[in-house]
Amino acid sequence: MEHVRALRDAGPCRFHLLVPVEHPMGAWSDGQVSAAAKRSLQEGLDAFHEERIIADGEIGDANPVYAAGVVIRREGEDAFDSIILSTLPAGPSRWLHLDVPSRMRKEFPKIDVVHLVAESASARA
């Protein structure tokens, strides 16, 4: 949130939170993963709104690069100044294992990708 607060304090901005669904180990249903993603999205929006940060959001595909591409194609590249990609630290992060930060930069070369590593395991990635 420090980075987002700094952007807010620097001038007018808005954020669009994208929460990819997560397919956990074991048995799960589409309804369960969708409900979990909706809860994560709402928690994120609540945290942004508590900080007086303008934000909306949506749930996306389990593949974060594909999910971001859907939003960027729909809204247009010019709609975004940057992508803020938040991951867990190297050990527990599946996204780092899958090289998501580099894949995002390669897929969206005209958009700055800011990779932030969460300090807490409560973050998703």
**Which CATH number is 25's domain given?**
3.40.50.620
Q: Is residue 124 part of a domain?
A: no
3-state DSSP helix/strand/coil percent for the chain, to nearest 5?
45, 20, 35
Q: According to the model, what pLDDT value does residue 123 have?
A: 46
pLDDT at 121 over 60: no
**pLDDT band for position 125 (50/70/90)?**
very low
What is the model's pTM? 0.86
Q: According to the model, what pLDDT value does residue 19 have?
A: 95
pLDDT at 122 over 80: no
Give the domain range for residue 85. Answer: 2-117
Counting the structural domains of the chain, the total is 1
Q: Is residue 26 part of a domain?
A: yes
Which residues have C-beta within 8 Å of that of residue 19, sequence separation ≥ 6? Answer: 37, 40, 41, 44, 57, 58, 59, 60, 124
Q: How far apart are the C-alpha atoms of 15 and 81, rounded to whole Å?
A: 10
